[in-house]
Structure 1
Amino acid sequence: MEREQPSDLHELIRTQLRRLRTAAGMNQEEFGRRSNYSASLVSAVETGTRPVDRPFAKRADEVLETGGMFEELLRTAEVLRQPAWFLPYLEAERTARQLRCYQSTLVPGLLQTERYARAVIRCDDTLTDAGVERRLANRMARQAVLDQEEPPQFVAVIDEVVLRRVDERLHDVLVEQVHHLIDLAERPNISVHLVPVGVGMHAGLTGPFILARSTDDGWVGNIETQLGGVLADKDEDVNTLLSKWETVRNEALSGRQSIELMKDCVKPWI
């Protein structure tokens, strides 16, 4: 069974929110009005019945003029809840200028909807319900990297079969996910390309991976495995992944062609 994760930082966030709100002479209703949240939601956050998310932390920092304290505490809490093997890559991803991802089995985590991500995470039958929700919250929090003021350029290559593999009980989840991919692909900083099933065998089929390019132009990779992931930061390993990336990217369709194929993938389910 999954071990419970420490929540000290989240408790600190709630405590500081109550303290600073009170010091500013605001009750929950007034704070909610200034931050565009209901008083009941503010109360739920302060009592811990609703988790603190990035938008709430950002508004709290602005209203209470903390200089970004809540966002930084939340970012630290999110990092501490990630598995140890993932932390070095996660930090590279958070500050990346460019991201390159190839997926042969699932929609990339950074592009998943909440319902799709929950369905994927639930496939791990060793997780408790609470464990599923924690992992889901971490995955959704990672996606904030694509919504920054200056987001990285993200190019994703996905095998077409990923969008055609679905449990009939969850076809509405897949439809929602594909529509979400199409919406994301319209953003100037995001490109989504499909490798059509007609391509057959290609270099990417040995496994999914993601690459992050830092501000100093160095690359770091993460290779997904059944046991989690393997950090690739040595030059020879990074060069291998970059070579594989070029190969699979060349097999993929253009962005516009990929959008049309995505629409075709969900037609049987609409």
Structure 2
Amino acid sequence: MNQALRAAMADRGETAESLAEQVGVDPKTIARWITPGRTPHPRHRAAAAAALGREVEDLWPDVFKRREPAWLRPWVETELQATALRAFQVAVIPGLLQTPEYASAVLSSGLLGPDEVGDYVETRLRRQAAVLDRRKPPLFIAVIDEFALRRGDPDLMRPQLDHLVAMAQRPNVLLHVLPLDAGIHAGQAGPFVIATTDDGDVAYLDDQAAGRLTNDTAALWSVWDTLRSVALPRRQTIDFLKARSWLT
């Protein structure tokens, strides 16, 4: 329950209907903002805060407690608004599907100091819950290159693969492994995620230094369709993850 929002509405004498009219949304949307797991779009948060005479961070403090780098925050906001997420990864397991131990290993291998890794792992786990465990989670489709499944110590990868199998049982999660015998493919240029929102499609592209967002998604959709066409179907992917024949 968002008690801060509820209290602010009561103080101003606003109902779901009256606040909805000022913000430009349906009253049912306001009601969902009060319940757990639903964070408004940034522009709606700003409009609601203005209507209630409060600061945005006072009404949605959890949004501002996250410790992800500033360049990542626009994408985190987009994830929360997405009705569908389509992710391709060639080198690592997608962040939304990582176990804490795997996330720690991945983050430790980069530029973060030892004292920073724990905070970033905690932030990643909160993102997972906020996106995939909310009341109406998005459709999440992930194509994962087999290389990513083979990279890592067996003791690290066994529980990570178990987690992937468990996540793949969820009705809103579709996993597809891109097998090695697919050869050189359209995704070789790097990982990406396409988010479908009420405002259109937004893509996230990652590199060594930072990530960036783009609304120019036409080329990525073409790559995505190609990758899906050569990846294993969902059932075969689950069987492949369970077999894990490459682990010793």
Residues 140 and 174 in structure 2, CA contact (< 8 A), matched pair in contact too: yes
Residue from 172, 175, 182 that aligns with 1:192? 175
Tell me the secondary structure at the aligned position of residue 85 of structure 2: strand
Superposition deviation, residue 70 in structure 1: 9.5
Amino acid across the alignment from 2:171: P
Aligned identity (percent) is 40
In structure 2, the partner of 1:232 is 214
Deviation at 1:86, TM superposition (A): 1.5
Unaligned runs of 5+ in 1: 1-15, 17-57, 59-68
Tell me which residue corresponds to 1:26: none
Report whether the alignment pairs 1:262 with 2:241.
yes
Instruction: Quickly say closer, same or farther: Cα 1:107–1:239, change in 2 above 3 A.
Output: same
Segments of structure 2 that go 5 or more residues without pairing to the other structure are: 5-35, 37-56
CA distance in 1, matches of 2:233, 2:105: 29
Give 1:202 deviation, angstroms.
0.5
Give the alignment partner of residue 122 of structure 2, picking from 119, 137, 148: 137
> Would the aligned equivalents of 1:100 and 1:211 in 2 still touch at CA under 8 Å?
yes
SS at match of 1:187: coil
- Secondary structure in 2 aligned to 1:268? coil
Post-superposition, which runs of at least 4 consecutive aligned residues in structure 1 deviate over 4 A? none
Q: 1:1-270 to 2 correspondence within 5 Å?
A: 72-78=60-66, 81-124=67-110, 126-144=111-129, 145-166=131-152, 170-216=153-199, 218-233=200-215, 237-265=216-244, 268-269=247-248
Is the contact made by 2:86 and 2:140 (CA closer than 8 Å) also made in structure 1? yes
Conserved? CA contact 1:112–1:177, under 8 Å:
yes
Q: Residues 139 and 105 of structure 1: is their aligned pair in 2 closer, same or farther, counting only changes over 3 Å?
A: same
Q: Give me the TM-score of the superposition, normalised by structure 2.
A: 0.73
Q: Is the 8 A contact 1:97 1:152 kept in 2?
A: yes
CA RMSD of aligned residues (A): 1.9
How many Å apart are 1:83 and its aligned residue?
1.7
| Secondary structure, counterpart of 2:93 in structure 1 | coil
- Residue 101 of structure 1: SS of its match in structure 2? strand
Instruction: Name the aligned partner's letter for residue 226 of structure 2.
Output: T
1:175–1:266 CA contact under 8 A, matched in 2: no
Distance in 1 of aligned mates of 2:94 and 2:59: 25
* AA in 2 matched with 1:241: L
Count of residues paired in the alignment: 193
